[in-house]
């Protein structure tokens, strides 16, 4: 499948099959994320991958606040994305805050992880709502560590791609 086909196929999975995710596929996702573009190659991210069947449901519960995300209970693994300190070249560090670029770098790593998952037949859903304190306690992540997101991972229950609803190109781009 070429890259545009991958972009059209990848979607937020909201119905996971009752099938474990192979460890080597998770490693491939991490290897892909490691190769994501990064300002000054600072790679200001780290991942905590949860694949233990005893802990996965507890992580799911941490992301089900206010009665939302019920479908996450079907995920068979999670990747917690942590923001690390972005270290830029000394000349740049003198004039700009290195953390300014960290969020974009994290986004690149997350999307690369998700495309690598899709290419291997896995579904993902990027979550932004979760109980940070409970999850940090559960996974032994220090309270001062910044969370950059949570990725639910598993095999999709059905191989059906929903039509994408996106803004038209004219609304998001301008050529000069």
3-state secondary structure of 12: strand
Q: Which two tokens stand for residue 160?
A: 């059906």
User: Which of the four pLDDT bands, split at 50, 70 and 90, describes residue 4?
Assistant: very high
Q: Do 22 and 122 meet the contact criterion of CB atoms below 8 Å apart?
A: no
| Domains of the chain, residue spans | 3-172
User: Which of the four pLDDT bands, split at 50, 70 and 90, describes residue 161?
Assistant: confident
What pLDDT, on a 0 to 100 scale, did the predictor assign at position 40? 80
pLDDT at 130 over 60: yes
Tokens 């802990």: give the residue: 55
Considering the entire predicted model, what is its pTM?
0.91
Q: Rounded to a whole number, what is the distance in angstroms from the first to the last CA of the chain?
A: 32
Q: Which two tokens stand for residue 137?
A: 């306690």
Average the pLDDT over 113-136 and give the result: 95
Q: Do 45 and 148 meet the contact criterion of CB atoms below 8 Å apart?
A: yes
3-172: CATH, from 3.40.109.10, 3.10.20.30, 3.30.70.2740, 3.40.190.10: 3.40.109.10
Q: What's the residue count for the chain? A: 176
What pLDDT, on a 0 to 100 scale, did the predictor assign at position 93? 59
**What's the rounded Cα separation, in Å, for the pair 70 and 68?**
6
pLDDT at 59 over 90: yes
Average the pLDDT over 45-54 and give the result: 97
What pLDDT, on a 0 to 100 scale, did the predictor assign at position 96? 65
What pLDDT, on a 0 to 100 scale, did the predictor assign at position 50? 98
- The tens digit of pLDDT for each residue in 7-37 reads 989 999 999 999 999 999 999 999 999 999 9
- The tens digit of pLDDT for each residue in 75-121 reads 999 999 999 987 766 666 566 665 567 889 999 999 999 999 999 99
Within 10 A of 160 (CB to CB), how many other CB atoms are there?
Answer: 8
Averaged pLDDT score across all residues of the chain: 91
């Amino acid at each position: 499948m070429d890259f545009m086909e991958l972009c059209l196929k990848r979607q937020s999975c909201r119905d996971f099959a009752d099938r474990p995710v192979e460890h080597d596929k998770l490693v491939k996702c991490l290897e892909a994320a490691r190769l994501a573009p990064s300002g000054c190659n600072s790679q200001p991210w780290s991942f905590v991958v949860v694949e233990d069947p005893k802990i996965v449901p507890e992580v799911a519960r941490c992301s089900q606040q206010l009665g939302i995300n019920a479908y996450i209970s079907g995920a068979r693994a999670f990747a917690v994305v942590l923001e690390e300190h972005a270290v830029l070249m000394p000349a740049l560090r003198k004039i700009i805050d290195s953390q300014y670029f960290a969020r974009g770098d994290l986004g690149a790593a997350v999307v690369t992880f998700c495309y690598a998952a899709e290419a291997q037949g896995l579904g993902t859903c990027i979550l932004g709502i979760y109980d940070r304190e409970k999850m940090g306690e559960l996974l032994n992540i220090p309270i001062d560590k910044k969370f950059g997101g949570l990725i639910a991972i598993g095999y999709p229950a059905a191989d059906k791609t929903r039509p994408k609803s996106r803004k038209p190109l004219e609304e998001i781009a301008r050529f000069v």
